[in-house]
Structure 1
Amino acid sequence: MKKNGLGTVMEILLIVAISASVGIAWNRTLLTSAWRGEVARPAEAAAPAANAVTEPMPLGLMQVKELVDAKQAVLLDARSRTSFAEGHLQGAFNLPLEEAAKNPSRPLKVQVPAEASIITYCNGFSCHDSMELAKILVKAGYPNVYVYEGGFPEWRDAGYPVAKGGA
């Protein structure tokens, strides 16, 4: 079945007319407001709910190093006490995920200002404890929580300062 040029043009025009009609009908409230010169109201769904949990932001090695060098972050090691004692980022506090999960409304045992930048870490990219710990901290009201995805192995392998022992 062969179509001539006029038939193809008519099909295209029909598709455009139907698409425009559906688009206008779908967005009629928005278009009506725009034609009246009214400012469009933002959708209620655009703003996160007050109790919505934001995902903690991931950080790379260089970002963590800069924050640590500038003393602008609190480091939290989400690994076990044994792993922490064997080696950790210098200046870090140990907060195993299991302990934080026991009291999620008040997970920190050290005094940390609510607006402080907190970096959680664990055993690198295959370890998800640092992300889970970060989510607990966000739910507890700490808005500036980050996750160091490379964790202790990447830090140690880069030759940056590590410490042993203590909690």
Structure 2
Amino acid sequence: MQTILSTVARRWLGCLLALWAGWAVAESEIRSPDEIPGTVRVDAEGLIDLIYRIPELTLIDSRVPMDRRQGYIEGSESLPDTHTDCDTLALHLDDLDAPVAFYCNGPRCGRSAKAAQVAVDCGYRRIYWFRGGFEEWLGKGYPVIKE
């Protein structure tokens, strides 16, 4: 009986390790594209410049709520990529010429790339993409809001 339990336990452990290893590999392979046609890619300083130059800029945090609770860029609006479509964008942006910038966790996060692509597909024309995202922002010591 104990041998059967120990065999079952080893198989479960093996399955769990295999799942974890697969997840870890999959997570490490996620990478945002270098460019998204129809957008202008900016770095942290470029985003700061946009915020000062274009007061009507809407900054969208494409991360899920759990990530946003770790902190976010002041003035950003939460719109996770999983909820981003033409209808939800229209709730945040006045018209197709409204300037908008997207960010997520960083280059290994595809959420802002997906959201920016949705905006392009919806016909928005002034789209900025902060590919370095929250990781770059924090790495440069810029302030964040935590609630």
Using the size of structure 2 for normalisation, the TM-score is: 0.67
Equivalent pairs counted in the alignment come to 110
How far did residue 54 of structure 1 move?
A: 4.2
How far did residue 114 of structure 1 move?
A: 2.4
Divergent runs of 4+, >3 A: none
Matches of 2:72 and 2:81 in 1, distance apart?
A: 15
How far did residue 122 of structure 1 move?
A: 0.5
Please say which structure displays the higher CA radius of gyration: 1
Aligned to 2:73: 89
Matches of 1:106 and 1:54 in 2, distance apart?
A: 21
Quick check: 1:67–1:73 contact (8 Å CA) kept in 2? Answer: yes
Aligned to 2:41: 58
CA offsets 1:126-151 (integer angstroms, 9 cap, x no match): 11111110010111121111110110
> Structure 1 residues 153, 54: closer, same or farther in 2, change over 3 A?
closer
Aligned to 2:24: none
How far did residue 67 of structure 1 move?
A: 1.0
Aligned to 1:122: 104
Gaps of 5+ in 2: 1-35
Using the size of structure 1 for normalisation, the TM-score is: 0.59
Q: Which letter does structure 2 place at the counterpart of 1:145?
A: I
CA offsets 1:87-133 (integer angstroms, 9 cap, x no match): 01100001101111xxx231323243321221100011111111110
How far did residue 72 of structure 1 move?
A: 4.9
> Structure 1 residues 63, 72: closer, same or farther in 2, change over 3 A?
farther
Matches of 2:126 and 2:88 in 1, distance apart?
A: 15
Question: 1:16-55, aligned counterparts within 5 Å?
Answer: 54-55=37-38
Quick check: 1:73–1:117 contact (8 Å CA) kept in 2? Answer: yes
> Structure 1 residues 111, 145: closer, same or farther in 2, change over 3 A?
closer
> Structure 1 residues 142, 83: closer, same or farther in 2, change over 3 A?
same
Q: Which letter does structure 2 place at the counterpart of 1:154?
A: E
Gaps of 5+ in 1: 1-52
Matches of 1:110 and 1:89 in 2, distance apart?
A: 17
How far did residue 164 of structure 1 move?
A: 2.0
Matches of 1:112 and 1:158 in 2, distance apart?
A: 32
What is the CA RMSD across the aligned residues, in angstroms? 1.9
Q: Which letter does structure 2 place at the counterpart of 1:107?
A: T
Matches of 1:138 and 1:110 in 2, distance apart?
A: 15
The structure carrying a bigger helix percent of its residues is 2
> Structure 1 residues 110, 121: closer, same or farther in 2, change over 3 A?
same
